[in-house]
Amino acid sequence: MMLKYSLAAALVALVGTGLTQQVDGAQFNNPTAGPPASYFAAAATIPVAALQSAATQVSTAASKSTYAINNNGGAQKVTIHSDWSKFSEGAAFVFVADMDVDCDGLNHNCKGNPDGQAQTNFGALSAYEVPFIVIPDNFATAYPSEFPGNNLAAVICNGKMFYGIYGDSNGDTPEVIGEASWLMARTCFPGKDLNGNAGHGAADVTYIVFSGSEAVLPSSALNKNYVTNFSTLRSMGDKLVNSLAKNLGLVAGGSPTTLITTAIGSSPTSGSCSWSGHCAGASCSSEDDCSDDLVCKSGKCASSTSCSWSGHCAGASCSSGDDCSDDLVCKSGKCASP
């Protein structure tokens, strides 16, 4: 009876928000009744298979980047790669590993986890409600500005992509790689009864961890225990992955796929973009406030290509106003509105 009530209450809390997937995380703090996969799944338009293939082609090892997938002697070693870390948008580090279950935080006494810790790196997350991943502590501390905590992550497992956050690190001796929360692991591999003592052993899971402060899930969508707004998690994930796919040339025509993120109670509309509330016509103070390839023109997000001189529109590099189309001027090396 309590389980049925908790799930019903959670759904009421969700639907009551209208166009955003805000939730009372405590209602999902249950090993068998966590958030459904649809809450943190990537948009259907994301080129998941192409990204998974691209992850096998990387070659540049990051600093302090090689770890075994478990602490058994002779265990397979995995390297974290930095080939994608220098992009201006969608910058990320990537590795392919197995998936063990981490229950540190609120649920540190989960099934098969007798030695869990009551805290995670940036709070005390619920492993039952938050789709988080774990990265080795030595690697995380080698990149403090890239990984301030709660960075968006995309996980490809069983041919699907799910979004989560970097919520904890592994500081064991020796440190190991390839861990995710109870929710993420059991969503990736349903029916296998994964738990603190039973993981997915094959190293066939792709982890893409986005770097920089712009990739951090904001406090408006996350508190120290729970994700409180899954719409924000999904829209940020779609935006970052879409930018990464564009940088890698995985999107047809060299331009990002149009992503339409539909919240409960809403329907796709013409002109939608991957970052709800930041589409064409939204108010802005800089390009950072605008979705996809939109730029900030006269305080509004707008297309960067709506000018008469292709390649010299708003956002294009410039050394003087002569390099910019129409009435645009050169500001800080970029064509912009006067």
Phi-psi region of 207 (alpha: psi -120 to 50; beta: other; left: phi over 0): beta
Residue 237 maps to a domain: yes
Residue 314 maps to a domain: no
Tokens of 142: 């080698």
- Per-residue pLDDT reduced to its tens digit, 154-183: 999 999 999 999 999 999 999 999 999 999
- Per-residue pLDDT reduced to its tens digit, 206-239: 999 999 999 999 999 999 999 999 999 999 999 9
Tokens of 213: 């402060």
Sign of CA dihedral 219, 220, 226, 231: negative
Residue 112 maps to a domain: yes
CB 330 within 8 A of CB 321: yes
Residue 185 maps to a domain: yes
The beta strands (E) that lie in 103-226 are given as 132-136, 152-157, 160-170, 179-181, 200-210
CB 101 within 8 A of CB 196: yes
Residue 64 maps to a domain: yes
Select from 218, 223, 200, 240 the least CA-distant residue to 129: 223
Structural domains in the chain (count) = 1
Residue 154 maps to a domain: yes
End-to-end CA distance of the chain: 63
Helices then strands, counting H and E runs in the chain, come out as: 5, 12
* pTM as predicted: 0.71
User: What residues make up the domain containing 122?
Assistant: 2-247
The type of residue at 56 is T
Tokens of 309: 């001189």
Residue 298 maps to a domain: no
Residue 333 maps to a domain: no
Please state, in angstroms and rounded to a whole number, the distance separating the CA atoms of residues 44 and 153. 17
- Per-residue pLDDT reduced to its tens digit, 292-326: 667 777 777 777 555 656 566 777 777 777 666 66
